Chain A
């Protein structure tokens, strides 16, 4: 059973701090990794994708991937109250075609 695990939180950080969100996955042949943001009652919104080991930066967001440890993380720098949402980690395995397997998400709360 392919699984994606995330700490459900809530993760609380003050405005301006760095928020660190973590995700582990069970399927070793997973190839593509995604972070989505989901506001309450809304649909998942893509933040970043990462395919290779290492870091990938996009604005205030940095995704980190370590395939040997089966671990992917998302760092949010200079956190803003508008970043308060649930962050979903999603994984795609070549063996599973193009479907995404989602974690349950980590709820982030940024206080002003």
Chain B
């Protein structure tokens, strides 16, 4: 069964550094998403991407964040100048139109 693939599984970075989280969505899916989940809290929507542009974003997704689809398969989330509170699980998801399928996530730890 096709799946969403995320790398790395765990990323440790120092405060103030930039990180790039990578995702390979399911190949025939058209919608791509990033969500995050701070430990013990709910899954929160960050951004959705359709037709090579951002279609929606939440209040969390400010200028510190950016997304890109650099080629036909990858979908990336860049977090600039990381803060301690950016520590969380970051999930990529993709969908054709209806249900979203999630990758295994990247655990980001900012020290």
What residues make up the interface of A, taking CB atoms closer than 8 Å to B?
32, 34, 36, 42-46, 49, 88, 90, 96-105
Contacts and interface: CB of A to CB of B under 8 A. Distances in A.
Contacts of B31: 98
Nearest to A97: B56
Q: Which 3 pairs show the lowest CB-CB distances between chains A and B?
A: A102-B43, A104-B42, A97-B56
Interface stretch (B63-71, B75-83, B99-107): B99-107
Nearest to A96: B56
28 contacts: A32-B98, A34-B99, A36-B102, A42-B105, A43-B89, A44-B43, A44-B91, A46-B100, A46-B101, A49-B98, A49-B99, A88-B43, A90-B43, A96-B56, A97-B48, A98-B33, A98-B55, A98-B56, A98-B95, A99-B33, A99-B58, A100-B33, A100-B35, A100-B45, A101-B45, A102-B45, A104-B41, A105-B42
Interface residues of B, number: 24
Contacts of B42: 88, 102-105
B47 to A, nearest CB: 9
Contact of A46 (B55, B91, B99, B104): B99
A46 B3 CA distance: 12
Given A49-B99, A98-B31, A43 B91 contact: yes
Contacts of B41: 104
Interface of B: 31, 33, 35, 41-45, 48, 50, 55-56, 58, 89, 91, 95, 98-105
Contacts of A104: 41-42
Contacts of A96: 56
Contacts of A99: 33, 45, 48, 56, 58
Given A102-B44, A104-B42, A105-B42, A97 B55 contact: yes
A110 B80 CA distance: 42
